[in-house]
Amino acid sequence: MSGPRDVYVLNGPNLGRLGRRQPEIYGTTTLAELGKQCVRWGQDLGLAVRFQQTNHEGEMLDWLNDAADRGWPVVLNAAAWTHYSYALFDACAQLEAPLVEVHISAPSKRPEEFRHTSVVTPHAARVIEGQGIDGYRQALVFLAEGGAQ
């Protein structure tokens, strides 16, 4: 019998401010609360969630490289890096296990034009946006069900 499948749930810059930063857009759930919820959802689905957040792009790239080396699927909310980081684009390109792009808000519907572009989407098996923190649960369900495109 095998154990739970490891999954990275990775969060980019400013997501450490969840619950305090623009709650009208991002809600009132804190990052710590979201992390605990993702771990619980993962356990219910047979996934071992490794939930992490960083404001440092190099650290995010290291985690994505590790996911590539281990063959782990990734749920990624790259936050602002979504829109311009070609280093992130390259790191996502090497992933062989499914990648799910998640955004709490709906960047494609936000007024700022720069938010309408994602360097992650070309590599994502699925994009979930505008579902609040439930988007993370949806991403984990998708991965638990096989994560097929």
90 known member of a binding site: yes
Pair 13, 77: CB distance under 8 Å: no
Active-site residue, selected from the candidate residues 8, 56, 86, 103 = 103
Is position 26 annotated as part of the catalytic site?
yes
C-alpha to C-alpha distance for 44 and 56, rounded to whole angstroms: 31
105 known member of a binding site: yes
Is position 103 annotated as part of the catalytic site?
yes
83 known member of a binding site: yes
77 known member of a binding site: yes
6 known member of a binding site: no
Q: Which residues are catalytic?
A: 26, 103
List binding-site positions for substrate. Answer: 77, 83, 90, 104-105, 115
List binding-site positions. Answer: 77, 83, 90, 104-105, 115
